[in-house]
Amino acid sequence: MSSIDGDAATVTSLDVRRAQRLRRDPSDAVLDVTSALLAEESYPGVTLPAVATRCGTSVAALMSRYPTKDALIASVYLRRLQALPLEIDRNAGVVERLITQLCVVANIFADAPDLGAACNIALMRNDDPAIVPIREAISEEIRRRIAASLDTGAWPEIHNTVETVICGALLQVGAGLLTYRDMIAHVETVLRLLFPDD
């Protein structure tokens, strides 16, 4: 086989694998490409045309699922969050269970801080309506983790208060106002006031 034939076979093989990946789960393929681009270029360098080109699709097709760059990047965060394990130690106290879940969520990008920074930029945008349903899905996942950590029969007011504390703390970290270590310490202090008998 000539080198030209070999190169053609390689290109064809890559094209086939990419097509198979897109057929299997288009959303996962797009988010994988977005994550890879963010690792290479950081937030400013990632564009919808660049992602579409890497995915072998059109910008219009990409925008039908992810209308804006920030919606696309925020979806990377949502996918990571939803993929995290939810394991509750019923032998631990309520505060310990909640702090464990907070640490799991807070460390979601421990292996890729630049990716986490890009996701925070996207999620902090307040001028992009396409971000709203993604933020709501993130809040729903955090509520699910809080509910699993609380004792059965906890009052709705307790659920809401804990959610406000945790989401507010994560927001402060995203804005660069708190370190993760300080955030966890602050949240634990508030939770111990909420659950003095724990």
pLDDT at 116 over 60: yes
- Summarised one tens digit per residue, pLDDT across range 66-91 is 999 999 999 999 999 999 999 999 99
- In our burial notation (b when 16+ CB lie closer than 10 A, e otherwise), range 11-20 reads eeeeeeeeee
Domain locations in the chain?
16-69, 72-194
Decide: 41 and 24 in contact? Cβ < 8 Å: no
Burial 161-171 (b: 16+ CB within 10 A, else e): ebbebbbebbe
What does pTM read for this prediction? 0.81
16-69: CATH architecture: Orthogonal Bundle (1.10)
What pLDDT sits at residue 109? 87
Q: Which amino acid is at 143?
A: R
Between 21 and 42, the higher pLDDT residue: 42
